[in-house]
Every structure is written in C-alpha cells, then in structure tokens.
Amino acid sequence: MFEGKSLIEILNMGGWVLYVLLGLSISSLTVICYKFVEFWQKSKVKRVDFLPVLFEKIKNDSLEKAIEYCESVNTPMAAVSKAGIIAFKSGENLGEFMDREIMIQTVELEKYITILGTVGNIAVYIGLFGTVLGIISAFHDMSAIGAGGITVVIGGVSEALIATATGLFVAIPASTAYNFFVKKIDKFIVGMEYCSSAIEDKFNLNYFHKGKK
C-alpha cells in the first residue's frame, strides 16, 4: 500500500491526524533522548561509592572540601548531602534542609516526564479518532458512489486504519519510556533519602569537630 509513496503522501493518506501524531512522536523522542542522557550521567556515581568518600573528606579535610566534592559530582545524592552540610554550618536543622532539597531534586528529575505520560495516553485515542473520521468519510463516499464503489470504500477504510496503527506506534515507546523513567526516579529518591538518613545519623557535632565518632 505504501510502495512508491513518499512520507508526505503517506501522511496525507491518514489526514491531518497523522501530522499531529508525527509532532507527538518527535516531542516524545526528544524527551526520551534528553532524559536518558540526564539519568545516565546522574547514575554514574553509586551510593556505595559516594558516601564513604564524602565521610572521609569530612574527617580528613574540612566541610568546605566536602562541599566542593558534592559540587563536583553530578548526582541528586550530592545535592542533598551538600544541603545537609550547609545546614549544619549555618546551625539549621539538617533534616528539614535535606528534605527540601529532596523535593527540589525530585521535581527536577520529573521535568518533562509528564510529556511522555500524556503522549502515551492520548496518542492511541488520537489515532482512533483519525480512523473514525476516515471511516465516516469512506461511507459518505459509498453513499455518493453507490454499491459499485465498494472497492473504493474498502481502500478508504484501509487508509483510515493507518491513523490507528500510527497512534499505537507513537504511544507504545512513550508509555514504555515513561514507566522506565518513573522507576529510575524512584531509585534516585531512595538514594537521596538514604543519604539524608545516613548524614543525620553520622554527622553529629563530635563527628564534625573532632574528625571521628
């Protein structure tokens, strides 16, 4: 059915709905690539490697060195840890500062993710809508042409189904990526909460001032 046809011709077969789905597909693919790179970069440093180095710097160097280390590591755990150290230096409540930073980092991690969820939910319905419009148009043509135009109508219906297939093609990757990224965000949150708890447990007054437990 698509032999010898250009992309524009195929899009015209499905009507304006395919152009909408094409735009949604480009948007979702852009978000997928962006978030994949972002999460990959922020996952390079593991919690089991980060915390021992941070504690060692505090014991052997200073709070300033620990803050510099946090700033050099691109991970939400480092941002939360930095907030805790700054809170201690300022005489503030560590838990409150780190909880606020966890919320800030979570919002940053969730940025643009809703686009994938939205595309995954509506792409199929948009495709179905395009198919329904195509079928309505096909039956309208049949009523105008008469019984002899059944072959033309069948061709019109098959072309209308392109919209449903395209909707599924757009929705499946978006929904899959959305679920994947949500799971990754949950792991980031667990890591941040673990760091917050560890800092509250270990970073007591004696630990900071004496350089030992």
Q: How far apart are the first and last CA of the chain?
A: 74
Q: What is the structure's pLDDT at 19?
A: 85
Q: Which pLDDT does position 111 carry in this prediction?
A: 92
Rounding to the nearest 10 degrees, give the CA dihedral for residues 183, 187, 189, 195.
180
- The answer to whether the Cα torsion of 58, 63, 69, 73 is positive or negative is positive
Secondary structure in 3-state letters for the chain: CCCCCCHHHHHHHHCHHHHHHHHHHHHHHHHHHHHHHHHHHHCCCCHHHHHHHHHHHHHHCCHHHHHHHHHHCCCHHHHHHHHHHHHHHCCCCHHHHHHHHHHHHHHHHCCCHHHHHHHHHHHHHHHHHHHHHHHHHHHHHHHHHCHHHHHHHHHHHHHHHHHHHHHHHHHHHHHHHHHHHHHHHHHHHHHHHHHHHHHHHHCCHHHHHHCCC
Cβ atoms 83, 96 nearer than 8 A: no
Q: What per-residue confidence (pLDDT) applies to 213?
A: 40
Per-residue pLDDT of the chain (213 residues; tens, 9 = 90+): 445 555 565 556 656 788 889 899 999 999 999 999 999 999 998 888 898 888 888 877 678 888 899 999 999 999 999 999 888 888 778 888 899 999 999 999 999 999 999 999 999 999 888 888 877 777 766 666 665 556 656 666 766 788 888 899 999 999 999 999 999 999 999 999 999 888 888 776 455 444 444
pLDDT of residue 135: 79
Q: Which two tokens stand for residue 209?
A: 């001032």
Whether residue 57 contacts residue 69, with contact meaning beta carbons closer than 8 Å, is answered with: yes
CB atoms inside a 10 Å sphere around CB 179? 13
Residue 10: the pLDDT is 57
